[in-house]
């Protein structure tokens, strides 16, 4: 028998310590409800569980983010609801003002209310914000930034300078020091691809040339409609035959004419016909012939040449082009330089109109059979027909793509090199971008940073890059096209009605997009909640303790601990039997 080492007691003590540790762990698990309280409990399970916890908390926050996104959308949409009401009221007033039973004082009162309503539309656009972020006073979110950048690049490299050169070569016209802004819109409900708008002297009741205005234009804006400018990443832009570069040439013709002559008193058939002549309108004429049935029908579509006969459709542009080609050819046949002689006269006599210019043409070329717009139109309708189209106008139509578009500097009209739809603008490869590409105009470019700032990224996922973009458009009066509404005559009031219709469509489109965003976010929230719930369930299976099973372990280990304590007492008594031998 040995007394220095009580092996039985040592063994029993080891078992009792182990049982005590197991009881402590069971108590810890039962009291915390978790089977992993430290890395040692389950190292791999802890790592997996912590990743899941990060995802769960991220998903829950993403749901809160989506709720904030909905709140932002509802703020913007609520403001646009009032904008809709304001524009509807403006339209109602415009309809009222269009009635000629109103006297001047009545229309002035209506105009006063419209002015206040448009100011309120602007205020809503400027002041609507969410958490101090402006929602409705910046760029047009329905336009892709890269498309705008492509068009600006082409305008700076080629289109504006080439168009200015083309106008100078065609008509001997050059603007000087004119301010013009470039603006992009995206309005598929309108038919225009681009247009130049400006301010003119208002003369209610004026019927010379364009109704109710006179004189030169100022405060010019070149509006380019992105809806008809796709694709934007080619030299010509757009698609055949209405390439964007040709549209720009058309509009720069207007810009130069507006600022060098009495544009307000020139008939629309003449100004549009000249602009078509700049880049050639043979394709437009062919389209009009197909639509109306014959050259004769296109010719007669001019009516008396009054503004009442101009409807602004493609057929009217074809008719205007045909009439200007007739005028150009007749002056050339009588020894003149064609339409260029008319435009240079109008620029030199900037208060006169087309009738005055035709009187001067008759004086310079006695063989002309007309000396006014009325007699010119009468001769035009009497002389032009299918059989003598080329003889009377110089126009040569060809099947398929035109060999020469009929431009003022091409082979048909001027005997120069043939100009196709693709070659009418020079567009020299390698030309650099020039911030001020025109000699006669100072260009103000749109601030694309504003459009970028209007894209709100909503974090709708737990991980990097899981975002959703919410975009809003500029909903102020200038962007909506109702910033300069006039109702001082039947004509201007009807124009205001059309502007209001376009603005209502734009606001409706914006509200529809916002509604689509909200519906998407509501589904996103449901998906986030489901994902979070499933991850919580998975994490629970790894981290949470099975209480019933752990109670079984606790009971077992508790009994074993008590048994070990009892046996340790017995083991400690064994060495005392040695004393009996010593006795």
pLDDT tens column, 45-68: 888 988 998 999 999 999 999 999
Grouping H, G, I as helix, E, B as strand and the rest as coil, residue 280 is: coil
pLDDT, tens digit, 9 for 90 and up, residues 342-367: 999 999 999 999 999 999 999 999 99
Side-chain half-sphere CA neighbours of 303 within 13 A: 12
What is the spatial distance between Cα 296 and Cα 303, in angstroms, rounded to a whole number? 12
Closest to 421 (Cα-Cα) out of 542, 282, 537: 282
Q: Among residues of the chain, what percentage have pLDDT more than 90?
A: 64
Indicate whether 379 pLDDT > 80: yes
Which helix or strand (DSSP H or E) is residue 134 part of? strand 133-134
Q: How confident is the model at residue 142 (pLDDT cuts 50, 70, 90)?
A: low
Question: Can you give the pLDDT at residue 453?
Answer: 45
Phi and psi at residue 114, in whole multiples of 5°?
A: -60, -40
Listed in order, strand segments (DSSP E) in 445-542 are 455-459, 467-471
Is-above-0.75 flag for pTM?
Answer: no
Question: Can you give the pLDDT at residue 429?
Answer: 87
pLDDT, tens digit, 9 for 90 and up, residues 515-544: 999 999 999 999 999 999 999 988 888 887
Report yes or no: 247 and 227 within 8 Å, Cβ to Cβ.
no
DSSP 188-201: TTS--SEEEEEEEE
Report yes or no: 420 and 400 within 8 Å, Cβ to Cβ.
no
Question: Can you give the pLDDT at residue 410?
Answer: 92
Q: At what angle do helices 160-171 and 244-260 cross, to 10 degrees?
A: 60
196 forms bridges with which residues in the sheet? 222
Q: How confident is the model at residue 187 (pLDDT cuts 50, 70, 90)?
A: confident
Q: How confident is the model at residue 450 (pLDDT cuts 50, 70, 90)?
A: low
Q: Which two tokens stand for residue 447?
A: 């601030």
Closest to 406 (Cα-Cα) out of 416, 314, 331, 287: 416
Distance, CA of 416 to chain centre: 40
């Amino acid at each position: 028998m040995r007394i220095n080492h009580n092996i039985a007691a040592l063994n029993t003590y080891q078992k009792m310590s182990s049982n005590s540790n197991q009881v402590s762990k069971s108590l810890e698990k039962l009291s915390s409800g978790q089977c992993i309280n430290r890395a040692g409990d389950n190292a791999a399970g802890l790592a997996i569980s912590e990743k899941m916890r990060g995802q769960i908390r991220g998903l829950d926050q993403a749901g809160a983010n989506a709720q904030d996104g909905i709140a932002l959308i509802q703020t913007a949409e609520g403001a646009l609801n009032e904008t809709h009401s304001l524009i509807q009221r403006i339209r109602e007033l415009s309809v009222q003002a269009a009635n000629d039973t109103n006297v001047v004082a009545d229309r002035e009162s209506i105009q006063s209310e419209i002015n206040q309503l448009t100011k309120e539309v602007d205020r809503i656009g400027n002041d609507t914000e969410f958490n101090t972020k402006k929602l409705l006073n910046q760029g047009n979110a329905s336009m892709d930034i890269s498309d705008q950048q492509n068009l600006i690049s082409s305008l700076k490299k080629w289109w504006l300078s080439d168009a200015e050169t083309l106008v100078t070569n065609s008509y001997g016209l050059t603007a000087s020091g004119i301010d013009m802004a470039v603006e992009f819109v995206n309005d598929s409900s309108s038919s225009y691809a681009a247009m130049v708008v400006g301010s003119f002297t208002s003369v209610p009741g004026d019927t010379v040339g364009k109704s109710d205005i006179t004189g030169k234009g100022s405060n010019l804006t070149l509006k380019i409609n992105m809806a008809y400018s796709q694709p934007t990443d080619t030299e010509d832009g757009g698609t055949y035959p209405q390439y964007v570069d040709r549209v720009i040439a058309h509009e720069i013709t207007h810009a130069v004419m507006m600022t060098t002559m009495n544009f307000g008193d020139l008939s629309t058939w003449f100004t549009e016909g000249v602009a078509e002549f700049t880049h050639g309108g043979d394709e437009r004429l062919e389209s009009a012939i197909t639509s109306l049935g014959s050259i004769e029908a296109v010719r007669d579509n001019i009516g008396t040449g009054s503004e009442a006969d101009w409807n602004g459709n493609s057929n009217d542009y074809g008719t205007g082009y045909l009439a200007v080609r007739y005028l150009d050819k007749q002056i050339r046949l009588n020894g003149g330089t064609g339409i260029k002689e008319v435009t240079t006269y109008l620029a030199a006599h900037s208060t006169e109109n087309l009738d005055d210019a035709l009187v001067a043409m008759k004086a310079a070329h006695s063989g002309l059979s007309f000396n006014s717009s009325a007699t010119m139109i009468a001769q035009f309708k009497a002389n032009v027909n299918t059989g003598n189209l080329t003889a009377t106008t110089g126009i040569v139509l060809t099947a398929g793509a035109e060999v020469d578009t009929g431009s003022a500097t091409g082979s048909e009209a001027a005997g120069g090199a043939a100009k196709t739809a693709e070659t009418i603008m020079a567009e020299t490869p390698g030309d650099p971008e020039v911030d001020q590409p025109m000699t006669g105009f100072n260009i103000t470019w749109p601030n694309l940073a504003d459009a970028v700032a209007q894209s709100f990224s909503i974090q709708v996922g737990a991980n990097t890059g899981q975002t959703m973009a919410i975009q809003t458009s500029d909903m102020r009066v200038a962007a909506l096209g109702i910033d300069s509404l006039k109702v001082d005559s039947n004509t201007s009031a009807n124009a205001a009605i059309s502007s209001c219709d376009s603005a209502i469509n734009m606001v409706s489109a914006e509200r529809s997009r916002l509604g689509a965003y909200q519906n998407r976010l509501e589904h996103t929230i449901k998906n986030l909640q489901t994902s979070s719930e499933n991850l919580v369930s998975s994490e629970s299976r790894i981290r949470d303790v099975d209480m019933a099973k752990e109670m079984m372990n606790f009971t077992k280990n508790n009994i074993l601990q008590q048994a070990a304590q009892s046996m340790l007492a017995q083991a400690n008594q064994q060495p005392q039997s040695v004393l009996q031998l010593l006795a």
